[in-house]
Amino acid sequence: MEIEQFLNKLPDAYSRTDREMLEKAYRFAEKAHQGQTRANGQPYFSHPLGVANILIDMDAIAEITVAALLHDVMVDCGVTGKQLRAEFGETIARYVEDVTRITSLPYIFRADQHPDERKPLSETTGSASKINEDLAETLRKMLLAIGDDVRVVVIKLACRLHNMRTLNALPQDRQKRIAQETLDIFAPLANRLGIWQMKWELEDLGFRYTNPDKYKEIAENLTLRRTKRMEEVDKIIETLLDLLQKSEIKAKITGRPKHIYSIYRKMLNKEKSFDGIRDLRAVRIIVDDVETCYKVLGIIHTHYSPIPGEFDDYIAAKKANDYQSLHTAVIYSDGKPLEVQIRTYEMHQNAEYGIAAHWRYKENKQHLSGKYEQKVSAMRSLLAWSMEVDDNQELLEGMRTDIFKDRVYVVTPKGDVVDLPQGSTPIDFAYQVHTDIGHRTRGAKINGRLVPLNYNLQTGDQVEILTVNRGGPSRDWLNPNLGLVKSSRSRSKIRLWFKQQDRGQNLEHGKILVEKELKRLGIEDFDLRLVLAAFNAKTIEDLYVGIGTGDIPIGKLVNRIGEFQADALKSEELVLEEPGKVKTDDSITVMGLNRMDHTFARCCNPMPGDPIIGYVTRGRGVTIHRMDCPNALRIKDTERLIKVDWGIAQQTYPVPLQITAYDRQGLVSDISTVLSSEPVRLIDLSMTTRQHVVKINLVLEVPGINQLSRVLARLENLPNVIEATRVRPG
């Protein structure tokens, strides 16, 4: 009976041959998995069947659905590739083999309720860096397993989605590990492929198991307000439809559901409570063509006041995952915010199904659409890049920043749109345009105005790169403390340039960099042989060459030295009369959110260490009272009382520094700006000037040597500064 239900669900576009092949695959997989059960007691075959149903709902082509039914027969049932080729042909056998390779990778949890004997990351012995090395290598092998066909990823995503839907049958510790992996790897992959339907559900399910308390809190808030919100949205839709009909515009308008994880991310990013999220009321308007999208936008903005900074045009500048839509937020007639998305039917299909939107049977199966080819090309580019990166830590960081991070869209002087990871700089832009332009970059103009090379690009910026005829990159670009290069791909190209230079030149430059950094930090007579093993260097010369080429970031060397110098800041010879002390941050954590607007109540004057509670005021943020404050105890509106905590205590150490610079107007102001943006505190400052050279002596409280290195690097990079060093006693 079940097979009849399955066959009846198949799309009408499936041919008779397709249906026969699917029936054959159904019976083959059901027989192969016979006797196997899941943790919830169901027959194991219910899992591949569930995966196939997810793909059918996405209108996947028949070969993909067949592969979904068979995706576990090799790993669980002993079926060979030769058998699959004999029964189902080369293409389907290759799909199953590729999915099997991903399933068999170490540190990628199967999540399918089989006993999993692989050791989870959280239980591996060794340092965090070793765990990250293993995870990065697994990601690299996963990309290799994907090969040339992106559809293998979609099968694996559907597999993970079905397992997440039934995750409650597993032990709690395993639930959390699998859910975290889903948030770290699989949901970002779904987003990169533009498959919104999978992305949001993977995120919500992952969040449900990684942070159940916060998930429940947001879900309950949504449920309490759902009826009222739905009534409001229904009236808004009716009003907007009437408004568009008067302009003779045909449109489909729906309420846009807000997903729990996206609400949580907005609460964190905007440091707001649930009530402060403005786009809980949202509608989506779908029209026939692009021209009508902009007409609708004009009508909406004419009748309702747009909220500044809340408009994004993803039609003119589409996202890296091919997503297109107009986003705006307005103040509706009831005085409350309303978010509006405007897109065409084609854009909507592409947004919901991503790459799978190009599988649909209305297209010729023999010819992939241009957009599908673009996505295949993007995945191949990702694969090629992963092979170029030798360092596993760099690969892991690159996946998190270049691949999974949000994007910015900037334009060249000719009007071409360039897509970059959020936080990118003009140097990253230059390398994205052409490697040679990146090497020869010496300056940049943003919207016609000169900017520093560590400027963070914003969507809509017009970027013009200023180059020299000859020359190469600066080694300072690889210093993470200066923030000149954010993209892992850019760093790889810079390192490759230095690798191609003469070994003797790299050795000399590396030695200069190390000696300069140690002098700046006031570290004398440190035996570099102690850190050789950490960087796989046989000799100190090899270490210098690694620093000179950029293969070994100077920051990592400082971190390693810092481990050996852990007590350096505590020793009597390196501190002032005042010993290192515990600094209590006077910031307040409100319901898990930092830096939220707050004031301290004058009636009880709470101090760090006092038990406290917060009261949500109208327009003045949160007022902080002592728990035993009479005014707080008399508050009747208890719903506005919220949990608050003091900031985290942190060990800090006073360190004397000296800055030598050519005197100029605004120098001290620039130094103050740097210090105010770092986790340090200025406790003393004095200065002397002689023949236009100023020496500024200051004492900072710093948490450790790594932060000290960053502060010194940033200070020394200021205009007119000759050097910034730590002062040693004597």
| Tens-digit pLDDT profile for residues 420-451 | 877 899 999 999 888 899 999 999 999 999 99
**Euclidean distance between CA atoms 587 and 596, whole angstroms:** 9
Whether residues 56 and 167 fall in one domain: yes
Whether residues 481 and 524 fall in one domain: no
Tokens standing for 672?
């103050």
**Euclidean distance between CA atoms 458 and 410, whole angstroms:** 7
Counted residue by residue, the chain has a size of 730
Q: Tell me if 376 is assigned to some domain.
A: no
257: CATH: 3.30.460.10
Tokens standing for 509?
């430059």
Whether residues 99 and 186 fall in one domain: yes
Lowest mean pLDDT among 99-103, 166-170, 180-184, 234-238: 99-103
Q: pLDDT band at residue 121, thresholds of 50, 70 and 90? A: very low
What does 1-44 look like in DSSP terms, one character per residue?
-HHHHHHHHS-TTS-HHHHHHHHHHHHHHHHHTTT-B-TTSSBT
420-425-426-432 Cα dihedral, nearest 10 degrees: -30
Q: Where is the domain boundary, 162, 178, 210?
A: 210
Whether residues 492 and 508 fall in one domain: no
Q: pLDDT band at residue 51, thresholds of 50, 70 and 90? A: very high
Q: Name the domain count of the chain.
A: 6
Written in H, E and C, the secondary structure of 207-268 is HHHHCHHHHHHHHHHHHHHHHHHHHHHHHHHHHHHHHHHHCCCCCEEEECCCCHHHHHHHHH
Whether residues 139 and 103 fall in one domain: yes
Q: Tell me if 569 is assigned to some domain.
A: no
Q: Tell me if 177 is assigned to some domain.
A: yes
- State how beta strands 644-646 and 252-255 pair: unpaired
Of these ranges, 180-184, 471-475, 590-594, the one predicted with the greatest mean pLDDT is: 471-475
Beta-bridge partners for 701: 654, 681
**Euclidean distance between CA atoms 326 and 310, whole angstroms:** 11
Buried b or exposed e, range 419-456, using 16+ CB within 10 angstroms: ebbeebbbbbbbbbbebeebbbbeebebeeeebebbbe
Beta-carbon count within 10 A of 322 CB: 20
Quote the mean pLDDT of the chain.
78
Q: Where is the domain boundary, 140, 175, 210?
A: 210
Q: Tell me if 570 is assigned to some domain.
A: no
The helix (H) or strand (E) run that includes residue 540 is: helix 540-549
- Residue 455, pLDDT > 70, answer yes
Whether residues 174 and 25 fall in one domain: yes
pLDDT tens string 508-557: 888 888 888 888 877 777 888 888 888 888 888 888 888 888 778 887 88
**Euclidean distance between CA atoms 378 and 207, whole angstroms:** 28
591: CB partners within 8 A, 6+ apart? 273, 642, 643, 644
- Residue 570, pLDDT score: 46
Q: Where is the domain boundary, 454, 473, 497?
A: 497
Q: Tell me if 397 is assigned to some domain.
A: no
Q: Tell me if 367 is assigned to some domain.
A: no
Q: Tell me if 364 is assigned to some domain.
A: no
Tokens standing for 187?
């949901």
Burial (CB < 10 A; 0-12, 13-18, 19+), residue 358, is buried
- Residue 277, pLDDT score: 64
Whether residues 252 and 292 fall in one domain: yes
Give this prediction's pTM: 0.57
Whether residues 513 and 489 fall in one domain: no
**Euclidean distance between CA atoms 601 and 57, whole angstroms:** 56
- Residue 346, pLDDT score: 86
* DSSP E strand boundaries for 513-619: 581-584, 588-590, 593-594, 598-600, 612-616
Beta-carbon count within 10 A of 409 CB: 21
- Residue 581, pLDDT score: 46
- Full domain range(s) for residue 253: 213-356
Beta-carbon count within 10 A of 371 CB: 16
Lowest mean pLDDT among 60-64, 111-115, 366-370, 499-503: 366-370
pLDDT tens string 492-518: 888 888 877 777 888 888 888 888 888
Angle among Cα 35, 40, 45 to the nearest 5 degrees reads 40
Q: What's the rounded mean pLDDT across residues 615-638?
A: 78
Closest CA to 407 of 194, 715, 127: 194
Angle among Cα 723, 729, 730 to the nearest 5 degrees reads 110
- Given CA atoms 474, 479, 482, 488 in this order, what sign does their dihedral have? positive
**Euclidean distance between CA atoms 284 and 602, whole angstroms:** 47
**Euclidean distance between CA atoms 257 and 343, whole angstroms:** 16
Lowest mean pLDDT among 155-159, 220-224, 408-412: 220-224
Q: Tell me if 515 is assigned to some domain.
A: yes
SS3 assignment, position 596: coil
Whether residues 106 and 9 fall in one domain: yes
Whether residues 687 and 637 fall in one domain: no
**Euclidean distance between CA atoms 77 and 98, whole angstroms:** 16
* DSSP E strand boundaries for 440-597: 441-446, 449-451, 463-467, 581-584, 588-590, 593-594
Whether residues 56 and 71 fall in one domain: yes
410: CATH: 3.10.20.30
Whether residues 37 and 183 fall in one domain: yes
Token pair 């786009």: residue: 279
Rounded to the nearest 10 degrees, what angle do helices 705-716 and 667-676 cross at?
150
Q: What's the rounded mean pLDDT across residues 276-289?
A: 79
Closest CA to 593 of 544, 644, 652: 644
Closest CA to 353 of 381, 325, 320, 322: 322
